[in-house]
Amino acid sequence: MWIKEHSNEFQVAIMCRVLKADRASYYHWIKQGCQVRQVDKKLNEFIEIIFMQGKENYGTRRIKDKLIQRYGFIVSRCRIARIMQELGLVAKTKRRYRVNTTSSNHNLPVAPNILNRDFYATYPDEKYVGDITYIPTNEG
């Protein structure tokens, strides 16, 4: 029981002895906030700013590019992903557009088939054909 409670203190004592540093200095350094933590806080802020400016659409690749462009930070995508997860930042994903074919099972009026599959025109601007089934509408 004593070992579990005091194992961290024991590790600190050994580390300080190996590095020939005073324990009080170590705890003072931790309390003041070491440089690594300050850099991490700044990096977290930058990642959050870039994410919000990107309208919550940016993933790790775009954020990495922006960090290099704007601030000159070179950070791995894995680290950016870890930070984003810690901050609760999730990029919005665009839904893939699915082409829906026309449903012929309805009671709505159907346009008459004037061409009757005769696409040959005797002169220009006589017949126009096209397919608009790929254009998304509010009705589906």
Residue 62 lies in a domain: yes
Q: Which two tokens stand for residue 108?
A: 């709505």
Residue 122 lies in a domain: no
Q: Is the pLDDT of residue 38 over 70?
A: no
Residue 59 lies in a domain: yes
Q: What is the pLDDT of residues 45-101, one digit of tens each?
A: 888 888 888 888 888 899 999 888 888 888 888 888 988 888 888 888 877 777 666
Helix (H, G, I), strand (E, B) or coil at 88: coil
Residue 27 lies in a domain: yes
Enclosing domain of residue 30: 7-87
Q: In the structure, what pLDDT confidence band is assigned to residue 4 with cuts at 50, 70 and 90?
A: very low
Residue 105 lies in a domain: no
Number of domains in the chain: 1
Q: Where are the beta strands (DSSP E) in the chain?
A: none
Residue 68 lies in a domain: yes
Q: Residue 52: which of 94, 82, 95, 89 has the closest Cα?
A: 89
pTM: 0.46
Q: Residue 130: which of 52, 122, 115, 37 has the closest Cα?
A: 115
